[in-house]
Each structure stands twice: as C-alpha cells, then as structure tokens.
Amino acid sequence: MSEKSCDTKNTCACAAAAANVQDPAKRDFMVLAASATAGIGAACAGYSLIASMEPADDVRAMSSTEVDISGIAPGQEKRVTWQGKTVFVRHRTPEEIKEAEADDKKQMIDPATDASRVKAGKDEWLVLVGICTHLGCIPNRVPEGWFCPCHGSHYDDSGRIRQGPAPKNLAVPPYKFISDTKIMIG
Amino acid sequence: MKNRFWRNFDKALFWFEHRLPIQSFAKHQGEYQTPRNLSYAWNFGSLAGVALMIQIVTGIFLAMNYVPQVDHAFDSVERIMRDVPFGWLIRYVHAVGASMFFGVVYLHIFRGFYYGSYKSPREVLWWFGVIIFLMMMGTAFMGYVLPWGQMSFWGATVITGLFTAFDEVITGLGTGVQQLLLGSFSVDNPTLNRFFALHFLLPFVIFGLVFIHVIALHIHGSSNPTGVAVKSKKDTIPFHPYYTIKDFFGFGIFFLIFAAFVFFAPNYLGHPDNYTPANPLVTPAHIVPEWYFLPFYAILRAVPPIGIPFTSIVFISSKLAGVIAMFGSILIWFVVPWLDRHPVRSGAYRPVFKWFYLLFVINFIILGIMGAKSPDGITWGIPNVIIGRTTTFYYFVYFLFVLPLLSKVEKADELPESIYEYTKKKYGGNIVSVLALALVMGFSGAATANETKEPVQVNWSFDGPLGTVDKQSAQRGFQVFKEVCASCHSAKRLAFRNLQELGFSEAEVKALASQYQVTDGPNDSGDMFQRPGRPSDRIPGPFANSKAAAAANGGATPPDLSLIVKAREDGPNYVYSLLNGFAEKPADVEIPAGKNYNEYFPGNAIGMPKPLSDGQVTYADGTQNTTDQMAKDVVNFLQWAAEPEMESRKQMGVKSVIFLLVFTVFFYIAKKRIWAKIGQ
C-alpha cells in the first residue's frame, strides 16, 4: 500500500486525505458505466417478470366453441360461452331481418349494414358477443333487439347500438358454418 | 446554477424529506463506518440479502400460476414451464436460487465460525442469524414439497415422520404433533395447501428478521479479519462507496455462477425423481434431500441406539437419538459464544484452532457426501455407517470439547496493534470454505448410483451450451412415438399446437389433431361426447386414466413420456440404452414371470416388452429404420418434449453470461479505481 502515513507534522494534507477518504465526491466514469450496465440488467430481468403476466400459450391457443344450431327455432336464441364470454346465437325471423336491413341507411352511432354482420346466404343467423360495449354488462332480449339494463343502451335486431352510452355495436366474433346444423365460433 | 425544473424538484424533495427523511436515512447508512480491511469473505451477507430478494420476487410471480392442490400442483408447474411466457426462466431461477441462497449463507456462517463473529458483543446478532437459518430450512423444505413430485411427497413423509420419534417420550405426543402438522393422517392435500401458505409467509418473516439482524450489526459495527476491534477513525472507511462497489462486484460473480446453472445446468442440483408425479404407493429407491440438507440428514441417520453396550438395554432408540442429534447439531450454534471463550477473536491468529477448524470444514463436507449415500454402501473402502458415525462424532466433539479446551490452553499469535497497522490480507480460511462448498455441490450431482449397467454415452446434438435438438430426427421420433409407444404410453403434457415447433405446418397440425378423438362435454343433454381433436387440445393418451392403464399392463402403469428424459438420471442416454438394451436373460439370473430382461433397467426386470425392432416404422424421408436409428430419433423427440424451451434457454444463457462478464469486469475496474483513493 502506498498511502502516506498520517503523522502530526502534515495535518492539513492528512485532514484532506482523510476527508477524501470519507467523502470521495467525484463520480468516476467507470462507476457510471458499471451502474448503467446494472440498470440494463435490472430492466431486462424486470421485463421478463412483467411479460410472464401476459396470457399464457395455452390461453392464447385459439379456443373454439362448437354450437349445434339445429334446435334453435326462428325467433329463438341460444347463449353459449366462447373464451369465457357470452355469445348470443339468434335464429332471426324474416320480419326481424327486414327491419334490420331497413335501418341500414339511418343515422347511427356506429354505422354498419346488416349484411356486413351476417354470413352471405345465412342472414337468418346472427352471432353476437353478448357484452355491452359500454361497460360490459350482458344485454337482455327485447322485441326490438337488445337492451342493456345497466345504463340503458339500446341495440337493434342486428345488434347495432342505436341509443345510449355504448360507443360500438355488439361485436361479431369470428365464426363459420361447419355444417348446416353446426357453427364453430373462434 | 440549476434550471427551474431542478430547483422545483429540489424543493419538492425537501418538502418530502422534512416529513419522511428517506434521503438522509440512506446517506446515514452509506456513512456507516466499516473496518477498512474487510476481505471478500464479508461479501456474503449482502449476497444473502440479494438471494432473498430474488427468491421473493420470483416466488410471487410463480404464485400467480401455481395451484396448491394435489391433482393440479405438478401440472401447474409444468404449465409454468411450457405455456407461461418466461415461466421456465422464473421457475429455474427460483429453484437454483434456493441453492444459491444456501450456498452464500453457508459461506457467511463459516466466515462467522472462523473469524469468531459470534463473540461478544455480537452474540444476539449471531442468534438472529441462526434463527434466520432455521427459518430458511423450514421455508426450503416446504417449498420443495410444492411441485408435488416423488421427492416432494416422500421427503415430506420422512421429515414429518421424524416427529413420531417423540412417541417414545410421551405416548401419542409425536403422532399427535405429526397429525397437527400434516392436517391429515399422511401427507395429503391439507398438507400441501398449508405448506403453500406457510412457504409464502415465511420469507417475509425472514425479511423482518434480516432487518433486525442488520440493526444488531450496526450497533457495534462489523468485525474484521484480524478480530481486533475498531480503535479510531483511521481504522474505518464509509460503507458507501467502498463497500457498495465491492458488493456489486461480488454480485457479478454471484450472478455469473447463478446464470451458469440456470441456463446450462438447471437440474444439476436437483433430483430426477421429482419430475415424476407423486405416487403415495411407490417409494423411490433412494430418498435424498436437497444438497443443503445433506449434512444434517447424515447426522439424523448416523446415531445408533443409546443404551448399555453389550446388552439389549436401550434408553433412547436410534430414531429418537437421531432426531435429537439432528436438531441439536444446529441448536448448539446458539451457545457457541460460550463454548468458545478464547480471548482472541479471529481464527487467523489462532494457529491450533485453524487446524481444527479446517478439519471441521472437511468433516462437514464428508457428512454432506454421506447424507446422499445409502447406509448399506461402502465408500473409499470404509462402510458408510462408520464414516457417518465418525464424522457426526467429530462434529459434536468440535463444539463441545475442542472449542472449550482451546479457549483455555491455546496460545495465540501476536495480534496487530490496530486494523490500520495491519497490512497483510488473509484469504486462507475462506478459500477452504469456497472449495468445500464447490465439493459438496459437485458431489450432490452424483448422488445416486445404479447397480445395473451404466447408460451408453451418445453425442447428442443437444448436448453442450450451444446444443440444439435435431428437428428432422425429432419429427421421425414423433412418428415412432405415435406408431409404437403411444399404444401404451401417453405424452399428455404436449399439445398438438406445440408440434409446430418441430417443423410441422399449421395445416399438418390441424390434420393430425383431427385424427384423434377427444372427450368433451357435457353437451346440452348432460352427456360427455367424443369429438375430433383440435390444435389446442393436448395429445390424448391410449387409456382413460392411470388405473385403466395399469389394468391393461399387468398392474404396472406405463409412465407418461412427456418428461421421461428429465425424470431419469442421465435421461437421454438412459432411454436410448434401455430401448437397445433388451437381451436374452442370462441363465443364472431369475426375473419374475411376465417381466422382460433389460441390461439397463434398474434390477434388470422391466414390465415393458421390447418395443422396437428393425423395420418397424417406415420413415417418409427414407432414413434407415434400424432399431438404433429409431431409438435415437425417439430420444431426440422426447428430449424436445421434455424441454421445449431448451434452445431459447441456452441462447439466453450465452447472452446473459456475456452481459454478466461485462458487468463484473466493469464493477471490478470501478472498485479498483475507488479503492485506489485509499491506496488499497
């Protein structure tokens, strides 16, 4: 060790050296570089922990629900669960379809044609995610369509928002007909 | 002059500081006067704190996905390994982290034993340390039960069974206590559930105890390698920046070792049997605790019945004596400050003590090695029982006899005038401890020995730090699995969608899945029904449940193969050897009826008939379909099935190790530059 010994002859330098020992004020560049490296490491570790909270692979795997629609008469609807959400599968009557299509050109909060919300040639089948786009309650069936009891959103026979605080139409989930009596949602 | 933003910031800081002085508290802690001559042996305290933090943080994230119920626990851990993003990383950090935590704590304790850290005025500091160690052991024991593997279950059975030893003291006392702990008549769901609750709780209790431990330390300050107390300010330096930077360098070394295990050998310190789900009806051949419990496990098993020699009069059974000795071996640490009353604190200045201490360390390592061995065996030409009893004997002799005797008779070396006068740095005792630790951890990897033939060693493409699975081979292996193995074995942790990682397209996977019938329901009539499989389904096994599987296979359930290469010692080589290892039974060997002779199966009598023969599976890519080739292919498939994360784990490992090398070098240089200010 090369430290000068602190003897009584050299009190000023000794005090200064002692002060330096007790309070080395200048920040060394290497310390900065090292601290930055530590910060990067901590950030990477933190990222992996937070990312682990994302939906896991098994949850993400496209879960699908098969629905047997043979038992649903015109004017009836069935509620099924898909990805944990309620889905309405409605067999519309010709009157309901006509009313829905007639409103296509009307002023709407979230404009959409009825045809865009059903499958071609199968417009009697309406498949909707039964979750109000306002704050998530499940709307009830009423003659004109659906009505959400929580804050009074009115949806028509195509599931489009017509009145009330909801900003968007009831969502149409991805689905397809795997036969005339079965649809696959998701 | 600072700009307005920073002046306002300073004002806000001052407002807060006036109400809760965090900044000045931190500054005051940083000014804590520390002896200037602390060696690297003094790094282990902060390392233990870091290890505790890592365990708590990873533990909480594991708890977000873990299910503490007997039918789901094992599966939930596998789900974390396979489906949760970075789940495998969090799990391995937590598992390896427990070993790292014990590693640094042992080094911390052995530093204490060598340098007399337990002596006045630090007795209470020492006591809190021992309590923390006891809490750690409880926490680790309960944590190991949670995955609900074979070792989890049977380790819990053995350790909770210890309490029945107290039935000899008062009839029914031991069993009563045992049932109270278990919540049932044997290790079962109530046990698992409460172990989870307590395993979650105890680390926070430990955190509180560590807080008190540090407060107790700060009352009289740290000791130092000379054992000579601080006499003036010349002897000390402020903790910050000298020891903060030195601690960070220590963290770098710690993380490097940690990363080497996590990314390249995550299961080295564990036991393959814990990758087999718990089976209350089948006890593993060798029940072994984790390496950090081995010395105490050896003591537990070593003690003979206490009675009158050469008669059959027994006062205390071997069982009870073992339990008392095991608990006693740690409780004795509480009274060490009164067993060792030598006026010289540090072992560095006690020439006789040094040798006994070295012997104690070596003795402790040998105890650890014995803890992993079968009591029937022979090591280095001596029966294990003799070694175990001798080392247990010396363990207690050291504390009860050597230390008190040396306190009276040892003539110590001359102590330095003060820390300041001290110039020489000594690392001797601690190199021994580090080497010792490395030895114990190394030996635990070779804990189980087989009497049957050692598996053939193959050079797999996935071996080594940069190894990858041969995907073509694994695809062929999947075909072998599907056409041969799957008639009896399931691989239920694999989902069809996972097969895309092997190179199958989405369409191929969909087509493959739809070939299988999967049970679903209930439908609207309340019945369960069969439907074609989908990519999100797991590959169905050939039997409805394990009882059906056993019934169809002469009482022996063919094991699920998803984890088989992790669930067997030297798994890939073992499975490969086994598949090639069916042979004619030698004339002088007897095997039970219905079993088949296999050179590599422990005990040689395996329930499975030879599954593979030349030409059995026709490969689409034209590869030669010999038994050997099929065995290799199916092992590649099974390796991928057991560890789908292996490649990304090794890649992340390479990046992490390079990063940590940079980190460690940076902090080493920074440490040298800061310490140069005081010429050290």
Predicted local distance difference test score (pLDDT) of residue A20: 46
Confidence label for B521 from pLDDT (cuts 50, 70 and 90) = confident
B425 is catalytic: no
Nearest by CB: B495 against A20, A61, A64: A61
The answer to whether A2 faces chain B, any CB pair under 8 Å, is yes
pLDDT at B449: 37
Higher pLDDT, B235 or B259: B259
* pLDDT, greater one: A70 or A50: A50
pLDDT at A155: 95
| Contact: A68, B670; criterion CB under 8 Å | no
DSSP reduced 3-state for B439: helix
A120 — contact with chain B (CB < 8 Å)? no
Mean residue pLDDT of chain B comes to 92
Record: contact A56-B65, CB cut-off 8 A: yes
Residue B40 has pLDDT above 70, yes or no: yes
Reported pTM: 0.90
A43 touches chain B (CB under 8 A): no
Contact A48 B678 (CB under 8 A): no
Nearest CA in chain A to B533: A64
Lowest-confidence range among A18-32, B146-160, B466-480? A18-32
Interchain CB contact of A48 with B (< 8 Å): yes
Smallest CA–CA distance, residue A127 to chain B, in Å, is 19
Question: What residues of chain A lie within 8 A of the CB of B85, using their CB?
Answer: 51-52, 54, 56-57
Average pLDDT over residues B302-317: 89
Averaged pLDDT for residues A9-31: 54
* Nearest-by-Cβ selection for A58 from B79, B669, B674: B79
pLDDT reported for residue B429:
47
Q: Does the structure show a pLDDT above 60 at A22?
A: no
pLDDT bracket for residue B433 (50, 70, 90): low
Cβ within 8 Å, pair A52-B86: yes
- A1 close to B (CB below 8 A): yes
Mutate to test the interface with B, among A49, A89, A182 (most CBs of B within 10 A): A49
Give the A:B interface size as CB pairs under 8 Å: 103
Q: What architecture does CATH give domain B31-164+178-449+649-676?
A: Up-down Bundle (1.20)
pLDDT of B87 above 60: yes
Beta-carbon separation of B90 and A22 below 8 A: no
Chain length of chain B: 680
Residue at B64: amino acid letter = M
Q: What is the pLDDT of residue B589?
A: 85
For residue A15, the model assigns a pLDDT of 45
| pLDDT score for A26 | 54
* Predicted pLDDT of residue A62: 63
Choose the most confident range, by mean pLDDT, from A13-17, A63-67, B445-449, B611-615.
Answer: B611-615
What's the whole-number mean pLDDT along residues A29-38?
A: 92
- Is B218 noted as a catalytic residue in this protein? yes
Give the nearest chain A residue to B241 (CA atoms).
A24
Distance CA B56, CA A82 (A): 36
What is the least distance, in Å, from the CA of B222 to any CA of chain A?
Answer: 17
Mark A154-184 as b/e (b = at least 16 C-beta within 10 Å).
bbbbbbbbbebebeebbebeebeeeeeeebb
Q: What is the DSSP string of A101-153?
A: HHGGGS--SS---SGGGS-TT-TTEEEEE-S-TTT-PPPEEETTEEEETTTTE
Mean of pLDDT values over B26-35 = 92
The predicted structure's pLDDT at residue A18? 45
Extract the runs of DSSP E, i.e. beta strands, from B301-443: 306-307, 314-316, 378-379, 382-383
Report the gap between the CA of A49 and the closest CA in chain B (Å).
Answer: 7
pLDDT tier at A23 (50, 70, 90 boundaries)?
A: very low
| DSSP codes joined into one string, B302-319 | HPPPEE-TTSS-EEE-HH
- In Å, how far is A161's CA from the nearest CA of chain B? 31
Question: CB pairs under 8 A, 24+ apart, for B350-359?
Answer: B350/B406, B350/B410, B350/B412, B350/B413, B351/B412, B351/B413, B352/B406, B352/B410, B353/B406, B353/B410, B354/B428, B354/B429, B356/B398, B356/B402, B356/B406, B357/B113, B357/B114, B357/B429, B358/B429, B358/B432, B359/B394, B359/B398
Contact: B536, A53; criterion CB under 8 Å: no
Task: Judge whether residue B277 has pLDDT over 50.
Answer: yes
| Residue A134 annotated in active site | no
Q: How many residues does chain A have?
A: 186
8 Å CB contact of B90 and A48: yes
Query: Is residue B614 helix, strand or coil?
Result: coil
Q: How confident is the model at residue B1 (pLDDT cuts 50, 70, 90)?
A: low
Interface test with B, best of A7, A28, A47 (most B CBs within 10 A): A28
**Is residue B448 pLDDT above 50, yes or no?**
no
pLDDT for position B385: 94
State the burial class of residue B251 (Cβ atoms within 10 Å of its Cβ: 0-12, 13-18, 19+).
Answer: buried
Q: How far apart are CA B99 and CA B198, in angstroms?
A: 19
* Structural contact between residues B495 and B537, judged by C-beta atoms closer than 8 angstroms: yes
A38 contact B CB<8A: yes
Instruction: Tell me the three state secondary structure of residue B400.
Output: helix
For residue B56, pLDDT over 60 is answered with yes
Q: What is the pLDDT of residues B114-135, one digit of tens each?
A: 999 999 999 999 999 999 999 9
CATH of domain A60-185: 2.102.10.10
pLDDT of residue A121 exceeding 80, the answer is yes
Does A24 sit within 8 Å of B674, measured CB to CB?
Answer: yes
Chain A residues lying within 8 Å of B666, measured CB to CB: 30, 33-34, 37
CB contact under 8 A, A58 and B535: no
Confirm or reject CATH 1.10.1060.10 for domain B471-494+538-644, answering yes or no: no
Task: Tell me how far apart the alpha carbons of residues B300 and B321 are, in angstroms, rounded to a whole number.
Answer: 8
Q: CB contact, 8 Å: A144 with chain B? A: no
Confidence of residue A27 (pLDDT cuts 50, 70, 90): low
How large is the average pLDDT for residues B61-77? 97
What value does the mean pLDDT take over residues B666-680?
A: 90
Judged on CB neighbours under 10 Å (0-12, 13-18, 19+), A73 is exposed
pLDDT band at B285 (very low <50, low <70, confident <90, very high): confident
- Considering only CB atoms, B677 lies closest to which of A20, A38, A51, namely A20
Q: Which of B244, B492, B669 to mutate to test the interface with A (most CBs of A within 10 A)?
A: B669
| Active-site residue flag, B562 | no
Q: To the nearest whole angstrom, how far is the Cα of A118 from the nearest Cα of chain B? A: 25
Most B CBs within 10 Å, among A2, A26, A57, A59, to test the B interface: A57
Domain locations in chain A as residue ranges:
8-51, 60-185
Residue of A nearest to B677 (CA): A21
Q: Write down the ipTM of this complex.
A: 0.86
Cα separation, B566 vs B578, whole angstroms = 15
Nearest chain B CA: its distance from A102 CA (Å): 36
Q: Express each pLDDT in B541-578 by its tens digit.
A: 999 888 898 888 888 889 999 999 999 999 999 999 99
Q: What is the pLDDT of residue B111?
A: 97
- What was the pLDDT predicted at A186? 83
Average pLDDT of chain A to the nearest whole number? 85
CA distance B129 to chain A (A): 28
At B452, is the pLDDT very low, low, confident or very high (cuts 50, 70, 90)? confident
For residue B674, give the chain A residue with the closest CA. A28
Average confidence (pLDDT) over B144-150:
98
Residue B116, pLDDT score:
97
Cβ of residue A58 closer than 8 Å to a chain B Cβ: yes
Residue labelled with tokens 């490296």: A37
CA distance A136 to chain B (A): 25
Taking the Cβ of residue A180 and every Cβ of chain B, the question of whether any pair is shorter than 8 Å is answered with no
Q: pLDDT at residue B430 above 70?
A: no
Residue A123: pLDDT above 80? yes
Tell me the C-alpha distance between B427 and B329, whole Å.
27
Residues of A (68-87) whose Cβ lies below 8 Å from B = 68, 71
Mean pLDDT of B340-367: 96
pLDDT in tens, B358-403: 999 999 999 999 999 998 899 889 999 999 999 999 999 999 999 9
A25 part of contact set with chain B, CB < 8 Å? no
Is A28 in contact with B670 (Cβ distance < 8 A)? Answer: yes
Name the residue ranges covered by the structural domains of chain B.
1-30, 31-164+178-449+649-676, 471-494+538-644
Within 8 A by CB and 6+ apart from B153, the residues are B145, B187, B278, B279, B280
